[in-house]
């Protein structure tokens, strides 16, 4: 029945519905009985920046619509997330405000949770967590030790930027035009040991599984293409050369047809046999420098990338030609840590490199001879990466350095290695290294005094498993984070919904899932894939440009919600563009969504209210029966389309189809009125049934307004709302 409000008051409707959801704990995750589908929808994990931006609103509006749709269809849904709370941006913000990062992060998280609730996102908020909580990073430490033991983590030297004035290493983000962000002193490079995650053992499988994921149809094109890009697969052949000492050296080339024209060999500085191939100490020193990555700030193209001539040659057995061995990181950038044939005749980059190496082409022309049948081969560009940082705000690395024993893992029962929470980093020095209470300890192996590792893990490492905790009840995470039986029900996640820039995270999460499958805890996930479906969406921009404070074009979701209401904002974000398109924000979509909700609200309320007044008129009813039948077909078709769109997470077309169905329903009334002057009871009942059906299909997108309209149509407030998704057999409206 009408609640007497002629106008759509979004703020009031939304706060009433949000209170009702809170009262009935509407989004609590319930483990389904066996046989019922369990669907874990994973949204992106926000950084604790303190503000949701429009990209978040887009992400969560898509994920929330999908979650609500799945619930309405009877699936058990887990829709949960955690904050990616460690990392440099939070540490820098805390330094600026002179507060401990722990405090800053908590304040930011609270605020963002409030924004999410105001937008009506149906997360299981009880399951939300912060990666910076002790109970969480204890498991990041466990993961570190587990991967270390499996041989997937190693320690090696690298170069990092160093500020003499601040006595600290700097991240790329903290170096502005070669100067320190804090004191503007010039920075210099220093060498230091750092920890690396090895992903090489799983590249081939990540590649192979990608074909399966594509075949499933549940990975959209952007998510697949980012995985392919990060993998960087090259197809070609490999041939065996004779190395300087006579030992065989395998060389790869993507140019199978031009092997005979090879004139040098390009080695990666990380080629496993490089040490054995190079004897000259001067050359070795140059190679060390290359390996430590000090070249990275220079250009990376063939013209300017560092190139070292080892002075040694390999021999092509088929022709006797001497091929100079050159070393360059360009090999990595193209094919990974391997050796590649340099074929200037077939390859532009090779030609450029050859021009920079005087020895290439100097020797006698090779005797004619064709290379042996080359074996097909594949190389991957994706490579091991550094996971440790000289920062305060991160997971402490559970390692103790002992004079006698070297780096020793902290025994699992001594976890967590606790990060002090009351420290206010200043940007000077390394706060952990300067805290004797943190640093000084004893060696777990020999008991002698020893020092804790003072590097922390990059937050990328926390993110490797940030999709796991939501699937475990909060009270049981301390004991069973990776072994809880619920994991088998919820994993792999049915759908990841994330920004198009998340490809790197997802790639590494896919690697670590396979590692944990082989190590044991995730043995039940045979494919080693954390996400069986994946939707990547593009970003939200304004005036054709990325939003930034600097440009003054930041759209604030809070202001929009205040002015138009959450449902209108959500509907507008979904309607404005498909996920694969960049959303160039403008008020057009907002005006459209606002007008639609207002019109539907008033129209439906009026029809619900005057249903009883429509006269019973059998003769009129018989005369318009064909119209009601047509209305029924329109509803059938509309719901079928909207369902299809939702299954594919194509929310923009789903919203369009919802608005079209509303036009059909209005059209029905106009036609009946034109023919008979008014709606008979049968017509009015059919129309109200169609409106109720329409409102149910609107519920995933504009959940507050939809529920309020269902109440106005006479449904009871409570767990039954918004009711089951209209399925084929329930579609036909009364005729
Ligand atoms: Zn400085
Ligand atoms: Zn020791």
- Taking the centre of ligand 2 as the mean of its atom positions, its distance from the CA of residue 92, in whole angstroms, is 35
| Ligand (nearest to CA of 161) | 1
- Taking the centre of ligand 1 as the mean of its atom positions, its distance from the CA of residue 89, in whole angstroms, is 17
H or E segment at 496?
A: strand 495-499
| Ligand (nearest to CA of 401) | 2
Model pLDDT, residue 160: 80
- Taking the centre of ligand 1 as the mean of its atom positions, its distance from the CA of residue 426, in whole angstroms, is 11
| Ligand (nearest to CA of 429) | 1
Nearest to 313 by CA among 361, 377, 381: 361
- Taking the centre of ligand 1 as the mean of its atom positions, its distance from the CA of residue 453, in whole angstroms, is 23
| Ligand (nearest to CA of 444) | 2
| Ligand (nearest to CA of 407) | 2
Structure tokens given for 5: 């409000």
| Ligand (nearest to CA of 427) | 1
Give the distance, in angstroms, between the CA of residue 600 and the centroid of all CA atoms in the same chain. 36
Structure tokens given for 731: 């579609």
CB atoms under 10 Å from CB of 406, counted, come to 12
The answer to whether 425 and 88 are in contact (CB under 8 A) is: no
H or E segment at 282?
A: helix 281-291
| Ligand (nearest to CA of 448) | 2
| Per-position DSSP letters for 197-252, written without gaps between them | E--GGGHHHHHHHHHHHHHHT-B-HHHHHHHHHHHTEEEEEEEEEE-TTS-EEEEE
- Taking the centre of ligand 2 as the mean of its atom positions, its distance from the CA of residue 454, in whole angstroms, is 17
Per-residue b/e over 702-732, b at no fewer than 16 CB within 10 Å? bbbbbbbbbbbbebeeeeebbbebbeeeebb
pTM of the predicted protein model: 0.93
- Taking the centre of ligand 2 as the mean of its atom positions, its distance from the CA of residue 445, in whole angstroms, is 5
- Taking the centre of ligand 2 as the mean of its atom positions, its distance from the CA of residue 441, in whole angstroms, is 11
Please list the ranges in the chain whose pLDDT falls under 70: 1-6, 292-300, 363-369, 728-735
- Taking the centre of ligand 1 as the mean of its atom positions, its distance from the CA of residue 392, in whole angstroms, is 16
φ and ψ of 362, to 5 deg? -80, -35
Per-residue b/e over 636-655, b at no fewer than 16 CB within 10 Å? bebbebbbebbebbbbbbbb
- Taking the centre of ligand 2 as the mean of its atom positions, its distance from the CA of residue 408, in whole angstroms, is 7
- Taking the centre of ligand 2 as the mean of its atom positions, its distance from the CA of residue 444, in whole angstroms, is 7
H or E segment at 144?
A: helix 134-149
- Taking the centre of ligand 2 as the mean of its atom positions, its distance from the CA of residue 435, in whole angstroms, is 21
Residues 6+ apart with CB under 8 A from 722: 68, 72, 695, 696, 699, 703, 706, 707, 710
Over the stretch 203-247, which tens digit does the pLDDT of each residue have?
A: 999 999 999 999 999 999 999 999 999 999 999 999 999 998 889
- Taking the centre of ligand 2 as the mean of its atom positions, its distance from the CA of residue 142, in whole angstroms, is 21
Over the stretch 106-139, which tens digit does the pLDDT of each residue have?
A: 999 999 999 999 999 999 999 999 999 999 999 9
| Ligand (nearest to CA of 163) | 1
Per-residue b/e over 535-569, b at no fewer than 16 CB within 10 Å? bbbbbbbbeeeebeeeeeeebebeebbeebbbbbb
- Taking the centre of ligand 2 as the mean of its atom positions, its distance from the CA of residue 442, in whole angstroms, is 8
| Ligand (nearest to CA of 164) | 1
- Taking the centre of ligand 1 as the mean of its atom positions, its distance from the CA of residue 166, in whole angstroms, is 4
Nearest to 701 by CA among 659, 730, 644, 638: 659
Model pLDDT, residue 729: 54
| Ligand (nearest to CA of 180) | 1
What is the distance between the terminal CA atoms of the chain, rounded to a whole angstrom? 22
The answer to whether 389 and 192 are in contact (CB under 8 A) is: no
H or E segment at 479?
A: helix 477-480
Q: How far is CA 30 from CA 38, 480, 486, in A?
A: 9, 18, 11
Model pLDDT, residue 210: 97
| Ligand (nearest to CA of 451) | 2
């Amino acid at each position: 029945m009408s609640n007497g409000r002629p106008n759509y008051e979004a703020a009031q409707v939304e706060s009433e519905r949000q209170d009702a959801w809170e009262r009935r704990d509407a989004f609590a995750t319930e483990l389904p009985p066996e046989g019922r589908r369990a669907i874990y929808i994973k949204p992106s994990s926000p950084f604790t920046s303190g503000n949701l931006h429009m990209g978040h609103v887009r992400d969560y509006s898509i994920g929330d619509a999908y979650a609500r749709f799945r619930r309405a269809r009877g699936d058990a849904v887990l829709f949960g997330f955690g904050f990616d709370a460690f990392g440099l941006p939070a540490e820098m913000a805390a330094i600026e405000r002179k507060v401990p990062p722990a405090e800053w992060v908590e304040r930011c998280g609270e605020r963002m949770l409030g924004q999410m609730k105001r937008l009506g996102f149906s997360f299981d908020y009880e399951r939300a967590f912060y990666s910076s909580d002790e109970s969480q990073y204890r498991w990041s430490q466990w993961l570190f030790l587990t991967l270390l033991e499996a041989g997937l983590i190693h320690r090696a030297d690298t170069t990092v930027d160093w500020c003499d004035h601040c006595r600290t290493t700097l991240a790329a983000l903290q170096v502005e035009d070669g100067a320190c962000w804090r004191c503007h002193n010039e920075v210099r490079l220093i060498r230091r040991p750092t920890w690396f995650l090895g992903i090489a053992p799983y590249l081939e499988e990540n590649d192979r599984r990608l074909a399966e994921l594509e075949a499933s149809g549940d990975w959209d094109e952007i998510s697949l293409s980012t995985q392919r890009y990060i993998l960087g697969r090259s197809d070609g052949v490999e041939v065996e050369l004779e190395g300087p000492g006579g030992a065989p050296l395998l060389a790869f080339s993507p140019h199978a047809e031009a092997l005979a024209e090879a004139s040098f060999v390009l080695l990666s500085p990380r080629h496993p046999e490089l040490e054995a191939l190079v004897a000259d100490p001067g050359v070795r020193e140059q190679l060390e420098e290359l390996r430590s990555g000090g070249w990275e700030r220079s250009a990376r193209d063939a013209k300017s990338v560092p190139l070292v001539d080892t002075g040694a040659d390999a021999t092509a057995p088929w022709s006797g030609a001497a091929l100079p061995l050159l070393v360059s990181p360009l090999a990595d950038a193209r094919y990974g840590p391997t050796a590649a044939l340099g074929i200037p005749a077939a390859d532009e980059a090779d030609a450029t490199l050859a021009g920079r190496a005087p020895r290439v082409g100097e020797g006698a022309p090779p005797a004619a001879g064709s290379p042996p049948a080359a074996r097909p081969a594949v190389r991957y560009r994706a490579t091991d990466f550094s996971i440790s940082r000289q920062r305060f705000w991160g997971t402490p690395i559970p390692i103790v350095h002992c004079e006698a024993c070297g780096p020793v893992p902290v025994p699992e029962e001594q976890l967590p290695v606790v990060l002090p929470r009351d420290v206010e980093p200043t940007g000077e020095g390394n706060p952990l290294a300067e805290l004797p209470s943190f640093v000084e300890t004893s060696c777990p192996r020999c008991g002698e005094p020893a020092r804790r590792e003072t590097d922390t893990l990059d937050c990328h490492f926390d993110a490797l498993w940030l999709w796991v905790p939501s699937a475990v009840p909060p009270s049981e995470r301390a004991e069973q984070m990776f072994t809880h039986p619920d994991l088998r029900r919820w994993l792999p996640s049915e759908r990841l919904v994330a920004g198009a820039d998340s490809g790197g995270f997802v790639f590494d999460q896919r690697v670590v899932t396979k590692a944990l499958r082989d190590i044991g805890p995730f043995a039940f996930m045979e494919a080693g894939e954390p996400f069986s479906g994946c939707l990547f969406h593009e970003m939200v921009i304004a005036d054709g440009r990325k939003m930034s404070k600097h440009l003054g074009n930041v759209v604030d979701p809070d202001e929009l919600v205040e002015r138009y209401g959450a449902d209108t904002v959500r509907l507008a974000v979904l309607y404005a563009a498909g996920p694969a398109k960049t959303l160039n924000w403008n008020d057009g979509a907002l005006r459209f969504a606002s007008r639609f909700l207002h019109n539907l609200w008033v129209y439906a309320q009026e029809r619900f209210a005057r249903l009883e007044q429509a006269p019973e008129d059998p003769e009129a009813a018989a005369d318009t029966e064909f119209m009601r039948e047509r209305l029924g077909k329109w509803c059938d078709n509309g719901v079928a389309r909207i369902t299809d769109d939702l299954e594919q997470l194509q929310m923009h077309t789903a919203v369009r189809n919802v608005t079209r169905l509303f036009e059909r329903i209005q059209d029905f009334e106009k036609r009946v009125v034109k023919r008979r002057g008014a709606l008979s009871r049968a017509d009015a009942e059919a129309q109200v049934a169609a409106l109720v059906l329409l409102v149910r299909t609107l519920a995933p997108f504009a959940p507050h307004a939809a529920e309020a309209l269902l109440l106005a149509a006479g449904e009871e407030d409570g767990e039954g709302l918004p009711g089951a998704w209209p399925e084929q057999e329930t579609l036909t409206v009364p005729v």
